[in-house]
Amino acid sequence: MRSIQRITKPTLAVLRVLMEADQSVHGFDVARRAGLAAGSAYNVLNRFQEAGHATSHWEDHNPVEGRPPRRFYELTPQGRVWAAEVLAAHPIKARHQLLPRLEIRSMGGLR
């Protein structure tokens, strides 16, 4: 098991999603709820697994035709203790504040 050295905003966002979930959550849904790109969320989830803070499993029934099977993630009991400590030590802003701010110009679109 590797320990997690850096606590980044994506790390905190994924932790919050997993702590708020009442059941395992598939990776793309973690990314969506955390406001992250899927690749960023999966990197964080993989680090959690390597550190022993999370486990995962593939969906156990046939996925929708044309869609690959989903992988579901959840914190281990030790991971929940660790996550609570990390979140208490690193209060994070609301999810919408983690995303980059976009300003709409009157005629020029997004800036």
| pLDDT value of position 68 | 83
pTM of whole model > 0.75? yes
pLDDT, mean over the chain:
83
Residue 81 exposure: Cα atoms within 13 Å on the Cβ side: 3
Residue range 9-110, CATH number: 1.10.10.10
Poorest-pLDDT segment among 1-5, 29-33, 44-48, 107-111: 107-111
- pLDDT, one tens digit per residue, over 77-111 is 999 999 999 998 887 654 444 444 444 445 554 44
Which is nearest to 18 in space by CA: 58, 49, 60?
49
pLDDT exceeds 90 at position 51: yes
Which is nearest to 76 in space by CA: 103, 99, 51, 106?
51
d(CA 89, CA 49): 21
H or E stretch covering 95 = helix 95-98
pLDDT exceeds 60 at position 25: yes
| pLDDT value of position 23 | 92
Report for 47-56, 65-74, 97-106: range of highest mean pLDDT: 47-56
